Chains A and B, each alone.
Chain A
Amino acid sequence: MSPAGNPRHRKLTESRLLFPVLALALILVFDFFYVPGFFTITNRDGNLYGNLIDILRNGSAVMLLAIGMTFVIATGGVDLSVGAVMAIAASVAAVMMNPVILGTSIGTDIEKFVTDPSFTYSPLWEVILVTLAVSTLCGLWNGLLIAYGRIQAIMATLILMIAGRGIAQLITNGVRIQIFYEPFAYIGNGWLVLPFSLYIVAAVFALAWVLTRRTAIGLFIESVGINATSSYFSGINEKRIKVLAYAFSGFCAGVAGLVASSNIRTSDANNLGWGYELDAILAVAIGGTLTTGGRFSLAASLVGALVMQATTTSILAIGVPAFAVQAIKGFVVVLVLLLYSEQLRALLRKLTSQWGA
């Protein structure tokens, strides 16, 4: 029997996506009525632009974080440090492309960093490789503290959340480094019919999907998240699974850091990725993964991230001042999470059956 051929199996996956997709659809319906021209997509030189495209593009970083966060939350943990790891990644990348601030003596004309958009100190592949290695190490550190140091996930990652921004500052000597190197800027600003960052999201999603559905890692993550003791008796090494989940979350944060810093063409240790960890956690929650761990769906988490971003974009589009965005976002999240509440569903069932009678 194949999984696709089994109706029960397919229905289950469908229902996992149902609520986040429903929430996203509701927001878009709202936009359809209240924001004129929200759905307009223009084609300039073969590239597509518009509000919908903006949601996808601006949501890239949180989508990336949500993929890694899904691993972590499914094991029953949480990773508060991803925003800070983004900042570390941005600082590492910036300093590798322009290390003048560290006093590195370079033979060439210093002004070339500003005047020549094709000039970089380290080649781009090296920048990406080292940045992702550093951010994966950050995640590894979290994982080791949690799995082997037996520190609660919320505390262990809180440490890096606080310290991470300091580390990011140290790397760049406390300075915001402007990036003029064009190939790097393409990561977050380039367009290939669709924004280039979307292809990065797709690639990371594909990697995560293969890791969880074409190896035993996905099964083990869910098993550990549901019942760690039973998993232990079945021979699953809970510690290694946890370390892997946090390391992967760090990796995703590194990719998100590259996208975000490329987008604003600077390393900004104070503000880059600020508050993103919470958006990512909410995205995973909207995607239906319990914060106590267990069953997860990567696709549902991605839609959850889009719900977060669509809310922001829509609120701004109808002209609500930016400072009120957080409050309204909170309201939307409460509504979606209430959809998952067994109590509320039972209440609704009771009410509807009363009306029916």
Chain B
Amino acid sequence: MADGQTDVLVMKGIAKGFPGVQALEGVDFTLRSHEIHALVGENGAGKSTLMKVLTGVERPDAGTIALAGRTVAPRSTQQAQALGISTVYQEVNLCPNLTVAENVLLGHEPHRRGKIDWRAVHARARELLLRLNVDVDVTLPLDTYPVAIQQMVAIVRALEIGSAKVLILDEPTSSLDAAETAQLFQAMRTIRAQGTGIVFITHFLDQVYEISDRITVLRNGALVGTYETRALPRLELVAKMIGRSLTELDEMAKTKLETARGIKPETTVSARALGKSGAIAPFDLELHAGEVVGLAGLLGSGRTELASVLFGSEAPDQGTLAVGGAPVEDHSPLASIQRGVALCPEDRKSQGIVDELTIRENIALALQASRGWFRYLTVEQQYELAEKYIELLNIVTPSPDQLVKNLSGGNQQKVILARWLATHPRLLILDEPTRGIDIGAKAEIQKLVLSLAEEGMSCMFISSELEEVMRTSHRIVVLRDREKVSEFSGEVQEQELMQAMAGSAR
């Protein structure tokens, strides 16, 4: 520990479960004063839950929190703030139509003779912002300034109101450009110099290495470890984040080799300099019948965005796309479905299932949409369709009339798969098809992808679990910072892939 540093926050053995998920299990976390501490992990690793426990949004099932040596148990964000734990969230939650000064001091304005002393409010707000090198007119409404400035205002407010010992920055840079990020980092260094401990949550690894002193890695709700940033090579960090378990690889590898022979030269989808500004940089991509192409990359690397422009749920604004040789004019989900492109979206609950409809209706939905309003699949046809896929995909349910919301995650995912298989797509894009489902269902879905390819379908497989991508894909496309950076076919070493995902190795 460097001179003058103390453990300002010690969390020990934190556990938190939600129905069906153990979000945190025995997690320890220590934050020192004068420190910027990066908290990293893939989606669902438990970062946000840990911070929610710390800020009083959630109560832990077990574990203790000590702040400056004293045990605390915050029960609300207000209480946490009063204790000296302040948070600035991803989306700035201030009042955009109030002035900068009002936002900084709202509820804590200096008074004079029973009235708010506006002169003092403005002077104080200006002084606080200047400490972080932010020189703006504090009497203008907040929304006249870019997000970066708004974020600074949020930070200043958090520091001022909470006189924070602990400042949590949750993905603060996700909507900032390079110059704004540099400005934010300057402010963070200033705050660190004043002694406050900063928890910095981000998925940009470059930034972790640029600014943090220590790194804590979480995975699947458990602590992987806490490391000095200087002592942890980038590649090792990536390995720790995604984890590796090498099980039942043999069988899958054999199937993969066999199916690789079935890849046809026929191109199903070809993208030329296709892209959408702000979402995914222009990329070239060719997909073939009978081939499984995996997308690898860390969270936020642009995997979902690439899939979205192929499917048309996000219309690309540059480049060209051809499906089955025909150039694509109309970028929309409906048009995509009609030309044989299907997408299993990333977020099953909000983008996939229609929870109050039955299994039968959910399965018929996309096929019916492609047929239009009046070429109605009769209820009998819907039953036939549903029963066929319930058997084929082994969906566990008492009846096709079960509401989808009553199914387990894995079975819900199979219903969505059935919805797309019913449209007989030539390209099936699967975005995180195995997230949040149990191991058994995971393996089933991976095998299904391979057997679909065997039948001549072209598949795109997206997952944050690297071994899963490697196991199912004939070819792997690697994305980093919303850009396609490389492509690997044939046998590929995990090391190589991680190198590509992480960028320049240290």
Contacts and interface: CB of A to CB of B under 8 A. Distances in A.
A219 B365 contact: yes
Interface string B337-379: 1100001010000111111110001001110111111111101
Contact of B376 (A216, A227, A232): A216
B383 interface: yes
Interface stretch (A1-9, A15-23, A143-151, A347-355): A1-9
Contacts of A219: 357, 361, 364-365, 368
Nearest to A4: B379
A219 B369 CA distance: 10
A43 interface: no
Most buried by A among B373, B380, B419: B373
Contacts of B371: 216
Contacts of A9: 401
A230 interface: yes
A222 B368 CA distance: 14
A223 interface: yes
B380 A2 contact: yes
A215 B376 contact: yes
Contact of B350 (A222, A227, A235, A295): A227
A227 B362 CA distance: 12
Interface string A7-35: 01100100000000000000000000000
A77 interface: no
Interface in A209-225: 214-217, 219-220, 222-223
B366 A235 contact: yes
Q: How large is the interface on A (under 10, 10 to 19, 20 to 34, 35 or more residues)?
A: 20 to 34
Contact of A6 (B338, B366, B399): B399
Contacts of A226: 354-357
A144 to B, nearest CB: 18
Contacts of B375: 216
Contacts of B369: 216, 220, 234-237
A337 B397 CA distance: 32
B290 to A, nearest CB: 25
Nearest to B352: A230
Contacts of A3: 379-380
A326 interface: no
Contact of B377 (A2, A8, A216, A233): A216
Contact of A229 (B337, B351, B356, B368): B351
B320 interface: no
A211 to B, nearest CB: 9
Contact of A215 (B345, B374, B400): B374
Contact of A223 (B365, B372, B374): B365
Contacts of A214: 376
Contacts of A8: 399, 401
Contacts of A233: 313, 333, 343, 345, 351-352
B373 A217 contact: yes
A220 B373 contact: yes
Contacts of A229: 350-351
B334 interface: yes
Most buried by B among A231, A234, A236: A234
Contact of B351 (A230, A235, A294): A230
Interface string A229-272: 11111111100000000000000000000000000000000000
Contacts of B370: 235
Contacts of B343: 233
Most buried by B among A215, A216, A223: A216
Interface in B324-343: 333-334, 336-338, 343
B402 to A, nearest CB: 8
Interface of A: 1-3, 6, 8-9, 12, 214-217, 219-220, 222-223, 226-227, 229-237, 294-295
24 contacts: A3-B380, A8-B401, A214-B376, A216-B374, A216-B376, A219-B361, A219-B364, A222-B361, A223-B354, A223-B361, A226-B357, A227-B355, A231-B354, A231-B365, A233-B313, A233-B333, A233-B352, A234-B337, A234-B369, A234-B419, A235-B337, A235-B369, A235-B370, A237-B369
Interface of B: 313, 333-334, 336-338, 343, 345, 350-357, 361, 364-366, 368-377, 379-380, 383, 387, 399-401, 419
Q: Which 4 residue pairs of A and B lie closest in terms of their CB atoms, listed nearest first?
A: A235-B369, A235-B334, A235-B337, A234-B366
